[in-house]
Amino acid sequence: MIDKISVYESVEDLCKGFTSFLQQEQTKAGEINISLSGGSTPKVIFDYWANSCQESINWQNIRFFWGDERCVPPQDEMSNYGMTKEHLFSKISTIPQKKIFRIHGENEPMDEALFYSGVLNKLLGKQNGEVSFDILILGLGDDGHTASIFPDQIDLWNADANCIVVHHPDTKMKRISITGKVINNARNVAFLVTGKNKADKVRQIIRQRKQFSDVYPAARVNPESRNLYWFLDKDAASLL
Ligand code: 6PG
């Protein structure tokens, strides 16, 4: 089994656990290329880092990228970059602006997907000839989506490009997302999942991955490195 599962009594303990993981990875490599996700779970991590890790994380040696972004301007409340800026970058002055590589949600989506694919090719190391993040953070949607690959567009997981344009199944809002080949080529993939509403999907994906790999994009996360970490609170892990 490739899943390395850590279950925490509280979300704060999960933040501490993931922070230790990041710090350990920092001791192994000089500069860390990290892909962030959107949603509410990373927001809690960013608040924890802003409040408790000003000095205890080496911010100079992290390059920040995103696994997905909504096609809105950075000041829009839906922007993943905007959320990260509000909860992290605006709170930690030692994070160099030049190490933040956002997806430009305000640009024409197809152009930006192509542009950001190029940014990843240019700035990231390669494994098996494909770009490779050191740490790739993923959330898990209630519907089994991850990054911004949704169940009704699951075939986009196999796209050739590093980044593609997708649309949210309900709102139809366009998004830019990395694809399965980028996700599964990361040195470390870390799902950050909290809440009882995710427990069923967590169980299905961890315990019945093959059965759900054509249903939930998150069930296709299966990194070559075999470093698939789950940082779960007890509610999200309650059906394991
Ligand atoms: C996004 C995210 C998305 C998110 C999941 C889980 O841009 O919305 O990348 O994939 O990670 O929807 O979100 P929560 O952490 O809020 O449950």
- Please compute, for residue 128, the number of CA atoms within 13 A of its CA located in the half-sphere on the CB side: 11
> Confidence class of residue 169 from pLDDT cuts 50, 70 and 90?
very high
Q: Ligand 1: distance of its center to the CA of 80 in Å? A: 9
Q: Is the pLDDT at 215 greater than 90, yes or no?
A: yes
Give the pLDDT confidence of 48-106 residue by residue, as tens digits.
999 999 999 999 999 999 999 999 999 999 999 999 999 999 999 999 999 999 999 99
The model's pLDDT over 126-168, given as tens digits with 9 standing for 90+, comes to 999 999 999 999 999 999 999 999 999 999 999 999 999 999 9
For ligand 1, atom 13: residue with the closest CA: 39
Better pLDDT: 116 or 28: 116
CA 130 to chain centre: 18
Which DSSP letter does residue 151 get? G
- At residue 64, the pLDDT reads 98
Report the separation in Å between the CA atom of 86 and the middle of ligand 1, taken as the mean of its atom positions.
17
Mean pLDDT of the chain: 97
pLDDT of residue 185: 98
User: pLDDT tens for residues 216-236?
Assistant: 999 999 999 999 999 999 999
CA of 140 relative to ligand 1 center, distance in Å: 6
Above 80 in pLDDT, residue 1?
no
CA of 6 to the centre of ligand 1 (A): 19
Yes or no: say if 147 and 67 are a contact pair by the CB < 8 Å rule: yes
pLDDT for the residue numbered 60: 95
Q: What are phi and psi of 118, to 5 degrees?
A: -70, -40
Q: Whose CA is nearest to atom 11 of ligand 1?
A: 139
Whether the CB-CB separation of 208 and 240 falls below 8 Å is answered with: no
How far does residue 216's CA lie from ligand 1's centre (Å)?
A: 14
Query: Burial code of 23-50, b = ≥16 C-beta within 10 A, e = fewer?
Result: eebbeeeeebbbbbbbeebbbbbbbbbb
Instruction: List pocket residues of ligand 1, CB cut-off 6 Å.
Output: 37-41, 68, 80, 139-141, 145-148
Whole-number Å distance between alpha carbons of 55 and 58: 7
Instruction: Give the residue, by CA position, lying nearest to ligand 1 atom 12.
Output: 141
